[in-house]
Structure formats: structure tokens, C-alpha cells
Structure 1
Amino acid sequence: MEKKDSKSLLKEPVSSYGNYTYADYLTWDMEEMVELIKGKVFKKAAAAPKRIHQSLAGTLYTEFHLFLKGKKCQAYIAPFDVRLPVNSKKDDKIFTVVQPDICVVCDMEKLDDRGCIGAPDLVVEVLSPGNKQLELQNKYEVYEEAGVKEYWLMDPEGQTLLIYRLIQGHYQPTRLMTSGDTAKSLAIVGFELDLEVFFAEIN
């Protein structure tokens, strides 16, 4: 396949997407951060994330990192490639490569020098005006299909958290949580987040 830069890729009509693989992704000279979802190319965001987005992601990553110290699981923050293979782990057979804002991986065999191959145990996506459709629809589907045990959606402006938990192969949502609630992870046993304290630190 002819090598393409980010501008030419992102100008193509959506209908032409669907055939790109991780092998293609590795050859691209990207100016923007992009993700590959079922062979289609998506911008990670239309512009650099807002400061509050970065503040929230960084603070939450720190919470996970400190909690996991000395434990078998590891937390990673974007940019960090997560490849989600379906039938084969070969580069030219992988059609989904995403960069969650935060992910936690407990199976060290899934980690290599290029990131993670296979479903993390938990992913966090921080909502922003430019990414809500991508997170709510496309990523929901690939995370569920790949077997990500827990999918956290955080809204820094609304100061809310919704957790999807994988139960018998399908996501079940918690109620919408906000300041005053304590979020508890079932995938990362023992991890709790006091949302009132957490959101008070985001400014």
C-alpha cells in the first residue's frame, strides 16, 4: 500500500475507510494523533485537548499509578498504543489500534515495546466536545467486543463518571456518578475514588 501522510488520510471520505491495518498505521507520518477502529481512521481529537482534560487524565493516572505500586497491574497514559486483535496478532491482521487516555493492564504477557496487544483490564476515556461520538459509540463497541472488563467514561466539565462493566460478554452501566459518590473498580480490586475529593483537585 502506498505510504500516506495524515493530511491525505484524514481528507478521504469515510466510506473509503475500512481496510487499514496496524501494519499500515506503523508507516504513517502523522501530524495529528489518530486511532484505527475496525480498519477506519479517526482523529483522536480535532485539536489539542483542553487543559481540564489533561489535568483530569494526569491526576487520575497518578491515582492508579500510586495504588498499583508493588502490584502486578500497571497503568499507562496516552499516547500508548493498544492493539485489539480479533483472529490474529500479526500486524497486517490487526484492524483496531486505540489510545485510551488511561489503561490498566494486569496480564504482563500483553505488554511489549510497542504497547499492549489484547484487551486491558480497565480503560478510561476522558470526554471532550470533539470526541464524544467516538467514545460513546465506536470505542464502546470495540472495548466490549475485545473483552475490556471495565470502561470508565469521565466528563471533566460535568464532573461525572459512568462505568461500564463487562457481564457475560456485554456492558452493563452503573448509574451516573458525581461529587459525593465513591467509584469502586471491580476489575482492579480495592481501587476506590472519592469523586468529591477528586473533582475538587481538578481546576
Structure 2
Amino acid sequence: MQGGYEVYERFEIIGGIRYDLSPSPKFVHQKIIANLYLSLHNTCHQNGEILFAPMDVHFDEDNLAQPDLLFIANEHRGILRDGFVYGAPDLCAEVLSSSTGRKDKTVKKDMFQRFGVKEYWLIDPTYRTVDQFVLVDGQYQLAATLSESDVLTSPVLTCISIDLSAIFPPENAAEA
């Protein structure tokens, strides 16, 4: 306990290596995740569960992640057990930051691919783009790099249709 409140450690384990998840995300990161959640909820809430970090996703004893946002289709709800996720979500999304971007683009992407996450989005708040990776024959293929003027749809999750202009906050919000 610190200063009258309990402090929880946030971390991920990828390939048996522990990665600390501090500092906490900045305003723009959280705003993008909130907007993305709302957009997904508008089109997909009847098709599955939409969750956001912190939410542990257990792949195995050496691989535990906390994706910024994840989607589990109704037909895969069985991976939700005991209040956690045990297995591959259908979609994971990460908002890039200076402290996590490298890991999100490399080791985390490789882990999601290895465990069969069907779709992975890398959201870049600086360039206001989304790289959409889709699993094809066990390998991620870059399906699209989209800008805020595009609509993101999914070849895998047909309920998804997101106007990306609604995801990114005003550019001056970066200072908040």
C-alpha cells in the first residue's frame, strides 16, 4: 500500500520475458481506445465481447498480454473463463507510444501471430494511421494502412465498419 491506496503492478510476459507496463498511457492513447471501443460497440456489440486494458490474455505460462483493445467473437466466448481470457482473441489492437511501440511492432505482433489472433491493428496517434494485419496461413499479412479519412472494415470480422475520423482526437489534444 502506498499513500493510503493499493498499487498494482502491470506487466506482460512474452516468450518468458517480463515487460513492465509503466508509465501509464497518456490522454491521446486513452482517447483513441475509448473512441475505438465506442465505434466497435456501435457495429459489433451483438457479435461478441469488446474489452480494453487492463485485461489479461493468457496464451500459455510464458505468454500473457494486455492488449489495449480486444474483441472475442460469440463463437469463441469459451476462452472467457474465471474472469480472464485464456486463448486467442479474434482481434487485438495496440495504440503505439514511445515506450511500447517497438515491442508492439515486433515481439507482441509475433506472439499474437504465433497464437492465432486473426487480426491485429497498430494505431499510430502521431501519423493518425492504422496498420491492419490479417492472419493468412499462420502469417500476418498487411491488409491495409489506413488514414483518418478511411473506413476500416475487416475481411475476418464482417461486423466491423469504423470511420477512422471518429477515432483520432483533434490534433491539439496531443498536448493534453
* TM above 0.5: yes
**Mean Cα displacement is larger for which, 96-105 or 191-200?**
191-200
> Is 2:152 aligned against 1:188?
no
| Structure 2 letter corresponding to 1:51 | F
Q: What CA distance in whole angstroms lies between the structure 2 residues aligned with 1:36 and 1:114?
A: 19
Q: CA deviation at 1:122?
A: 0.4
User: Can you list the C-alpha shifts for 1:1-27, whole angstroms capped at 9, x where unaligned?
Assistant: xxxxxxxxxxxxxxxxxxxxxxxxxxx
User: Can you list the C-alpha shifts for 1:87-144, whole angstroms capped at 9, x where unaligned?
Assistant: xxxxxxx210100000001211100123111100000001111101110111011000
- Structure 1's unaligned 5+ residue stretches are 1-28, 86-93
Q: How many residues align?
A: 165
Partner SS state of residue 12, structure 2: strand
Alignment correspondent of 2:56: 81
The answer as to whether partners of 2:124 and 2:130 remain within 8 angstroms in 1 is yes
Which portions of structure 1, spanning 4 or more consecutive aligned residues, are displaced by more than 6 angstroms?
none
Structure 2 vs 1, CA of residues 201 and 116 (structure 1 numbering), >3 Å: closer, same or farther?
Answer: farther
Q: RMSD of aligned C-alpha atoms?
A: 1.8
Q: What CA distance in whole angstroms lies between the structure 2 residues aligned with 1:104 and 1:181?
A: 21
The answer as to whether partners of 2:44 and 2:159 remain within 8 angstroms in 1 is no
Alignment correspondent of 1:15: none
Matches within 5 A, 1:48-67: 48-67=24-43
Tell me the percent identity. 30
Q: What CA distance in whole angstroms lies between the structure 2 residues aligned with 1:118 and 1:30?
A: 27
The answer as to whether partners of 2:132 and 2:142 remain within 8 angstroms in 1 is yes
Greater percentage in strand: 2
- Structure 2's unaligned 5+ residue stretches are 1-5
User: Can you list the C-alpha shifts for 1:21-49, whole angstroms capped at 9, x where unaligned?
Assistant: xxxxxxxx9744110111110012x4121
Q: What CA distance in whole angstroms lies between the structure 1 residues aligned with 2:157 and 2:144?
A: 19
Alignment correspondent of 1:142: 111
Q: CA deviation at 1:160?
A: 0.5
Alignment correspondent of 2:146: 177
Q: What CA distance in whole angstroms lies between the structure 1 residues aligned with 2:139 and 2:155?
A: 15
Aligned match of 2:68 in 71, 76, 101? 101
Alignment correspondent of 2:3: none
